[in-house]
Amino acid sequence: MTIEDKLLSTRFVVDSQNPHITLNTLLCATCREAPCINVCPAQCYRREEERMVFSWENCLECGSCRVVCVADAIEWNYPRGGVGVCYRFG
């Protein structure tokens, strides 16, 4: 089973008012390596010109991005109850 197949077996309840991850874009701009792009299994990070963009709506809440961020630019909090990722098939 590919990662794409596994992503299709998850459900996301988006909390559009309270993202659980926020980026300090000033610190992101100093990072040339951007390991968050490579480590995110849901491909939530991307660069647009010199700016990092994050889409929390499909985040798997694994926390990998926070661990590998060399600029300490990611603030990660658990989503409030009832929202976020819901794994359907384990």
Whether the pLDDT of residue 76 is over 60: the answer is yes
Cβ–Cβ < 8 Å for 54, 21: yes
Specify the pLDDT at position 65.
92
User: How far is the C-alpha of 6 from the C-alpha of 28, rounded, in Å?
Assistant: 29
Is pTM beyond 0.95? Reply is no
Per-residue pLDDT at 45:
93
Residue 88 pLDDT = 64
Going by their DSSP bridges, the two strands 51-54 and 45-48 should be labelled as: antiparallel
Q: What is the pLDDT of residues 30-72, one digit of tens each?
A: 888 899 999 998 899 999 887 888 887 778 888 899 999 999 9
Domains and CATH numbers, the chain: 19-80 (3.30.70.20)
Lookup result for tokens 């998850």: 10
8 A C-beta contact, residue 42 and residue 21: no
